[in-house]
Amino acid sequence: MTTSTTDWTTAKLESLVRPNLLNLKAYSSARSEFKGVAEVLLDANESPWETGSNRYPDPLSTDLRVALGQYKHFNPDQIVFGNGSDELVDQITRIFCNPGDAVHALPPTFGMYKVAAGIAAAEFRATNLSPDFTIPVAELKSAWDEKSKILWLCSPNNPSGNAIDPAVLEDLIRSFPGIVVLDEAYIDFVPELSFLPRLAEFPNLIITQTLSKGWGMAGIRLGAAFAAPFIIRMLNTIKMPYNINVLTRGLALEALRAPQKMQVKVDTLIAERNRLAEELAALDCVDHIFPSVTNFLLVRFKDAARVYQYLLDQGIVVRNQSYQPNAENCLRITAGLAAENDRLLQALRTL
Ligand SMILES: *Cc1c(COP(=O)(O)O)cnc(C)c1O
């Protein structure tokens, strides 16, 4: 079942969408109906006193799309925001999956793909990554069929920390019979690996990114999807009109005006991650440290359950990934401030 990108007509993309959504009319907000200069706003039952938050936000977050488009060198008309990329994962699943359709993912990976499939009553088909966390391409390809709607690829991957080989990525995007979503939540730690500059080559590709990780803004909940115009239209059709609130928009605009501040923090975290990897490797309780291009490390311990509980007792919380395939005895450790990382190392030295 191999298709080349040239086969992706709009009609073919449309055939992947749940039929009832193709003619669905999006909610038309008071603010999006008028054209012209707004001097007196008596259209939306808002409070008239200017407080910075008395007006409904722009449903299309236009200024934010322009700012992000400028920073990413990407067409703002092909961007949609979600209340975190979590929301986009759910929306994308609901656009393409009828109950019984299949989505594919490669555990160990991010948990929301499976949750979203469960909500949409879609079948979650897991093809485990190989023990070195590369993709078993032939096995994955043999798992998809005419029910397959979405392939979730996460690069760099959470929790393994590695990125997908670009040649493998390209092959999978070209050969998958449905929509490929590339989750680039950690791309700010390795921007040179982003597929965003190549998105136009792949009409069936959606890329998602977030301000939650490298940008340090998990609390404002802002994720972005980048895709071909037809897919953007569908995302705008089903999204709640005011999913991005004015406080989020304001803080995100401010951050995008000073990307060098983000860069300094990203560089600091990369250095701390490398230091952690080096110092952890010298500890007796550590068995293996997987290479990472993110702000976290997946570490195999000799007895992860014991280390996990011991750290908790010391007031240090890491994430136990032992339940995930090929991640037995593994803990995921986020790089923190130097002093926090020191505390972790000190605790482990006295284990
Ligand atoms: C953290 C994370 C996200 C969640 O991003 P939000 O924008 O905070 O919802 C998405 N994908 C992966 C792989 C993540 O690790």
- pLDDT, tens only, 83-127: 999 999 999 999 999 999 999 999 999 999 999 999 999 999 999
User: Span 260-350: which CATH code?
Assistant: 3.90.1150.10
Q: Using alpha carbons, select from 159, 115, 113 the residue that is nearest to residue 326.
A: 159
Confidence of residue 36 (pLDDT cuts 50, 70, 90): confident
Q: Check if 210 has its Cβ closer than 6 Å to any atom of ligand 1.
A: yes
What's the pTM?
Answer: 0.96
324 CB within 6 A, ligand 1: no
Beta-bridged to residue 153, according to DSSP, are: 182
β-strand partners of 209: 224
Residue nearest to atom 2 of ligand 1 (CA): 185
Distance 185 CA to ligand 1 centre (A): 5
Q: Which carries the bigger pLDDT value, residue 100 or residue 27?
A: 100
How many Å lie between the centroid of ligand 1 and the Cα of residue 211?
9
| Strands in the chain per DSSP E | 79-82, 102-105, 123-126, 148-154, 179-183, 205-210, 223-226, 286-289, 296-301, 319-320, 330-334
Q: Tell me the pLDDT tens digit for each residue of 133-148.
A: 999 999 999 999 999 9
Sequence-ordered alpha helix ranges (H) in 109-183: 112-119, 137-143, 166-175
CA of 183 from ligand 1 middle (Å) equals 8
Atom of ligand 1 nearest to the CA of 110: 13
Distance 296 CA to ligand 1 centre (A): 13
The residue to mutate among 112, 160, 215, 332, having the most atoms of ligand 1 within 8 angstroms of its beta carbon, is 112
CATH class of segment(s) 5-257: alpha beta
Separation between Cα atoms, residue 235 and residue 202, nearest integer Å = 17
Rounded to the nearest angstrom, the distance between the alpha carbon of 85 and the centre of ligand 1 is 6
Domain extents in the chain? 5-257, 260-350
